[in-house]
Amino acid sequence: GAAPATTGDPDGIIVLPAGSAEVGDDAVALLGLRDDVLDLEINPDRAYALSMRGVARDAAIGYDVPFHDPADVALTADGSADGYPVVVEDTVACPVFVARTVTGFDPAAPTPRWMARRLELMGMRPISLAVDVTNYVMLELGQPIHGYDRAALRGPLTVRRGRPGEKVTTLDDVVRDVTPEDLLITDESGPIGLAGVMGGQATELSETTTDIVIEAAHFDAPTVARTARLQKLSSEASRRFERGVDTALPPYAAQRVADLLVAFGGGVIEPGATVVGGPPAQPQVTLGEDLPARISGVDIPAATAVTALEANGCTVEHDGGTLTVVPPTWRPDLTDSYDMVEEVLRYVGYDKVPSLLPHAPAGRGLTPEQRLRRRVGQVMAGAGYVEVKTFPFAGPADFDKLGLADDDLRRDQVLLENPLSAEEPGLTTTLMSGAMKALALNVGRGHDDVAIFETGRVFFPKPEAPEAPIYGVDRAPSAEESAALDAALPEQPQHLVLVATGRRERAGWWGDGRRVQWGDAIEAVRRVTEAVHVPVHVEAGVIPAPWHPGRTAIVSVCGEVVGYAGELHPRVCRAYGVPARTVGAEIDLDAVVSASPVLGPRPAFSTYPVAKEDVAVVVASDVPSADVAQALVEGGGDLLESVRLFDVYTGEQVPAGHKSLAFALRMRAPDRTLTEAETAEVRAAAVARAAELTGAVQRT
């Protein structure tokens, strides 16, 4: 029970009402200081549990005891007079608005000690009786309440959308610019509050307020969530509205507030009440009486399912083998048959559900493509890169930081209907923006040597794609429906991105270490392609943003450009606040994996020994070593197994404007040991092709 109302200084003598205690009574219990506090973690879909009413209802079901609804109060409005005038312009965003008025209230009346104590235990600071009562009823019933000083109001309360140029000063003393997406409470003076989020300073309850207008309304969850996000303002009220509040509760919550204000602060409840709108009709949900048993594997009779649903406030009609269920107004999360099954299982007990692993059908392991992608991650980790996972969202500001041209195809995004952030309204078209954000975060926290990678999907709009159909969740889609869904999906290639900055080799007693170079990014790409047995071609060419045009290579597989590797442009590094000479790479992993011979016939494995030859050639300084290596491969034919560059020399023994490249050649035949004459022939053919394509001259 509640502790008795007290008077006096809490730091001095507490005067108890006459007859409320006897000499020798336990003062701790008498003053309500001995309480158990339950710290509950509420799931987002359980908004009803953000109140004592909701928690008590669940507890009553769990302990099989009667539930006494604190919202079951007598409504005193007699209909003989209207309440404070209210106009609702947006009835979708505000389907219900109730206003009651209390006059002659004593603003100096203290908050009862038991109420103040309960507010403190629930994490709220007592302020004044009028404010404390509205907060208390919100915590008790789950209905956010707002009180207005009637003397400060100018004309009717109006619920409408914001208009350009409007501002409102909220209770946290912040002047906020209003957007057309914000839902406002206004009067003739302009905006006086953000509906469902926070009231305004101009009409707040103060130490001089004697007449109070009580607002108990229902605001649409998406509307409140959008306003809270746009204004970067979260409150206890918005937290509840975003998750869903009982649409039938406003008249009873307003009455409860009025009753408490008069009980402890005096005054009179005006007989008139303003009620605009009403709770929307609840949807009907139909399910088979055997569905809970089929889903859970527990023998649940139909009568038990009916009892469980009715205990949760549902109205149930049992006709033959079908249950027709109307959920209560406080459960907006109950929208389909599987939600009903979940409620039945909560009633029966999740511990009754058997823990059995399903039999895995044969042939359902990883696909070859999935195995290759996992191998890529292992190779990157082995090369010293740490895997990160970033959000797949981006916006124009991200593309600006990357220096993308206005007509760059990567600016054409798949936009989201309800983005988490207005700054990132669409799905990303490049993993580099997320990787650079992760790199900047680590650098900003004092990590000087960072090497990270990510594999993930990027998204491109599909030209002339049909609109995605929406099907129910009560059955699996047919083959035709699945095909329609697939046709509406955007292009979603899998990419690999890596970025690195700082030292690639650590300093120590063995030396100064080595900073990352753009060649490290190219080497990482080579490791990846070698791991999936795909030959890669690296060459110079026209380089787009965000890359450094002189220190970046084009990466090609089977004649198709799959990405870029090298150094990031200095402007990009400055934009993200990372050190200059940061290196990276981004490649189309799907294109690389699809070219892997692992997905097709395996090449024959030779058991014969390898023959090794080294060759050095002189080429012009501007000839890429990758072009020379590719020419050697073409000339060597099938017997040339691999080519590896192991030395680059420029000095007195090489003509000016030239360089010497030394390559290690590995040769092997599938059916015999190669002779010296055969290896010499392969070597000569490789050099001849390099001379033809790159002007290479063999050093002797």
* Cβ contact 199:171 at 8 Å: yes
Task: Determine the length of the chain.
Answer: 700
DSSP letter for each residue of 377-391:
HHHHHHTTPEE----
Environment class of 123 (CB within 10 Å of its CB; exposed 0-12, middle 13-18, buried 19+) = exposed
At 78 the pLDDT is 67
Tell me the percentage of the chain whose pLDDT exceeds 90. 76
Task: Determine contact, residues 674/668, Cβ cutoff 8 Å.
Answer: yes
HSE-CB of 353 using CA atoms within 13 angstroms: 15
490: CB partners within 8 A, 6+ apart: 414, 427, 459, 460, 461, 462, 465
Question: Measured in whole angstroms, how far is the alpha carbon of residue 384 from the centre of its chain?
Answer: 28
How many CB atoms are closer than 10 A to CB 5?
Answer: 16
The fold of 611-698 is: Alpha-Beta Plaits (3.30.70)
455 and 495 Cβ atoms separated by less than 8 Å: yes
| Residue 34 dihedral angles phi and psi, to the nearest 5° | -105, 95
Peptide bond into 463 cis (omega under 30): no
> Looking at the chain, which residues constitute the CATH 3.30.930.10 domain(s)?
368-458+493-599
pLDDT per position as a tens digit, 462-487? 988 888 888 877 778 888 989 888 99
As a three-state string, the secondary structure of 10-67 is CCCCCECCCCCCCCCCCHHHHCCCCCCCCCCCCCCCCHHHCCHHHHHHHHHHHHCCCC
Q: Where in the chain is the domain with CATH 3.30.56.10?
A: 285-352
What tokens appear for 513 in the block? 């270490």
Paired tokens of 223: 């509307």
CATH 3.50.40.10 in the chain, residue ranges? 86-277
**What was the pLDDT predicted at 84?**
94
pLDDT for the residue 599: 65
Max mean pLDDT range (178-182, 476-480, 623-627): 178-182
Mind listing the pLDDT tens digit for each residue in 88-108? 999 999 999 999 999 999 999
CATH number of the structural domain 368-458+493-599: 3.30.930.10
Is the whole-model pTM more than 0.85?
Answer: no
In three state form, how does the secondary structure of 391-438 look? Answer: CCEECHHHHHHCCCCCCCHHHCCCECCCCCECCECEECCCCHHHHHHH
Q: What is the pLDDT of residues 668-677, one digit of tens each?
A: 999 999 999 9
Mean pLDDT for the stretch of residues 609-615:
95
Residue 407 predicted with pLDDT over 50? yes
Give start-end residues of each CATH 3.30.70.380 domain in the chain.
611-698
DSSP annotation string for 311-322: HTT-EEEEETTE
Give the mean pLDDT of 301-310.
Answer: 94
| Least confident span in 92-101, 399-408, 648-657 | 648-657
- Spatial distance between the Cα atoms of 227 and 182, rounded to a whole number of angstroms: 5
Distance, first Cα to last Cα, the chain: 102
Q: Which CATH architecture has domain 86-277?
A: 3-Layer(bba) Sandwich (3.50)
HSE of 398, CA atoms in CB hemisphere, 13 A: 27
User: What is residue 1's predicted lDDT score, i.e. its pLDDT?
Assistant: 46
3-state helix vs strand vs coil in the chain, percent to 5: 30, 25, 45
Average pLDDT, the chain: 91
- Give the integer Cα–Cα distance in Å for 376 and 91: 54
Q: Return the exposure string of 249-277: e unless at least 16 CB atoms fall within 10 Å of the residue's CB, then b.
A: bbbbbbbbbbbbbbebbebebbebbbbbb
Cβ-proximal residues to 384 (8 Å cutoff; 6+ apart), any chain: 451, 504
More confident residue, 359 or 504: 504
CATH of the domain spanning 285-352, picked from 3.40.50.10490, 3.30.56.10, 3.40.50.2300, 3.20.10.10: 3.30.56.10
Q: Per-residue pLDDT averaged across 502-510, rounded?
A: 87
Contact call for residues 452 and 499 (beta carbons, < 8 A): yes
Stretch among 37-41, 289-293, 688-692 having the lowest mean pLDDT: 37-41
Alpha-carbon distance of 581 to 586, in angstroms, equals 16
pLDDT at 354: 87
How far is it between the farthest Cα atoms of the chain? Answer: 118
**What's the token pair of residue 511?**
């030396």
Map residue 573 onto helix, strand or coil: helix
What is the torsional sign of CA 640, 643, 649, 650?
Answer: positive
In the prediction, which pLDDT does 356 show? 80
For position 600, what pLDDT does the model report?
59
